Amino acid sequence: MSHQNTLVTDVCIVGAGPSGAVTSMQLSKLEIPHIIIDKAVFPRDKTCGDGLILYAYKALKLLDEDVFNTFLKHPKVLHSKSIKLHINNDHFINFRETPDRDSIISYAKRMDFDNFLVEHLNDKFAHQIFGDEVKRIKGELDHVEVQLKSGQIIRSKLIVGADGIQSVVARKLAKRKIPKHQMSTFINAYYSGVVGQPEDLEAEIRIYYHKIPLFFYIFPLADGDVNVSLGGNTENIQKCDINLKEVLEEILTTHPKVKSRFIDAKREGNWRGWGIPYHFFDQKAYGNRFLLVGDAAGLANPFYKEGVGTGMMSGIICANKIKECIENNAYLANDLKDYQWSLNSEFGKLLKFSGRSLRLSYYRRPFAYFARIFKRYVERKTPDLVKRRSY
């Protein structure tokens, strides 16, 4: 329904990355018409570690079994049953999947994965506006008004902020800033010619101590490149004046367990950086006529930094809440507060445990000691723990 240059809708989603796309897909499954906006035109590039775990699988399977199976067979996605977390050079914890399950981690460039999701948006229920940026958002008594750069105006009863760490929805409607102590900063680059990749495509994660614990990742990709990433807590990186690019190059050229694989490797393209927020427990993901999902809600994991899967799952939870809002014609903060409870119920234990693990990792020797003590227990329990939050 529209008049003049204004579109009127019950639901408007800002952002069509994984969390926004899944919110849209679940709304379509519930037969709820909506508008989804993104400043980019897909396929588009996105800086990321390119690893998918846990809730990414769960969300896809809940959405549609066929979509999930298509993802598993996608030619630009690789899968592995093993993740190896190296605590130091001679100690690691191996998280492995059982033989009857497909993968514990998948690798896909965000250009390919995000486009895969967007291609599954439902044209019948999802009115897509891509390549147009939000210029202004204003909350009114009975609607939220969104003005796009093109001049298009959208009036919606409810708006979903799926627009990431720099969320304009969170900034304008929740007056929110993300504190640096609840955020990670990462850099990455793609490398070709890397040798010695394990046949099972095992994910390699190393905690590298350089004043503070930094997290180093090597993930293989379908085109033969590998994604190499390094990062840590934003506030501490700044306090310690750490140059991530210099440290990462140091690892690739001097680390005894890494350097031999990168002797003839070539960096493809420039170093790129991005932020990962994990402020969920300290800031509300709802308010008058808005809900936040994914990075806009601070749902990334504090320890292993992944936020795509939690973002996707939050999209399903968000869409289910929206159905309730429409049925009750209830869109104010008091009507939406149980959305926060639903997110906490799904993610709370995992995020709290990961936050404690991150804090412990700053104490190098005690962390290594506990990792050795609980190694066998963790490795034995991994399949059950993963299955509960996966597929």
Domain count, the chain: 1
- CATH (domain of 347): 3.50.50.60
Identify the pLDDT of residue 5. Answer: 86
Alpha-carbon distance of 246 to 86, in angstroms, equals 21
Q: Would 168 be classed as within a structural domain?
A: yes
Is position 364 within any domain?
A: no
**Do 284 and 174 contact (CB within 8 A), yes or no?**
yes
68 domain residue, yes or no: yes
CB atoms within 10 A of CB 4: 5
Strand pairing class (82-88; 34-38): unpaired
For residue 324 the two structure tokens come to 């309730």
Does residue 119 lie within any of the structural domains? yes
8 Å CB contact between 204 and 217: yes
The per-residue pLDDT for 234 is: 98
Residue 129 resides in a domain:
yes
Q: What pTM does this model have?
A: 0.95
**269 within a domain of the structure (yes/no):** no
Tens digit of pLDDT at every position of the chain (391 positions): 444 589 999 999 999 999 999 999 999 999 999 999 999 999 999 999 999 999 999 999 999 999 999 999 999 999 999 999 999 888 999 999 988 888 999 999 999 999 999 999 999 999 999 999 999 999 999 999 999 999 999 999 999 999 999 999 999 999 888 999 999 999 999 999 999 989 999 999 999 999 999 999 999 999 999 999 999 999 999 999 999 999 999 999 999 999 999 999 999 999 999 999 999 999 999 999 999 999 999 999 999 999 999 999 999 999 999 999 999 999 999 999 999 999 999 999 999 999 999 999 999 999 999 999 999 999 999 999 888 888 8
User: Residue 124 domain-assigned?
Assistant: yes
pLDDT at 3: 47
Q: What is the pLDDT of residue 385?
A: 86
Contact call for residues 134 and 37 (beta carbons, < 8 A): yes
Residues 6+ apart with CB under 8 A from 261: 194, 195, 196, 197
DSSP state of 248: H
What is the maximum alpha-carbon separation in the chain?
67
How far is it, in rounded angstroms, from Cα 390 to Cα 102?
11
Q: What residue numbers bound the domain in which 31 lies?
A: 2-79+103-178+278-359
Q: Which segments of 30-109 does DSSP mark as H helices, in order?
A: 55-63, 65-72
Strand partners of residue 221: none
| Domain contains 300 | yes
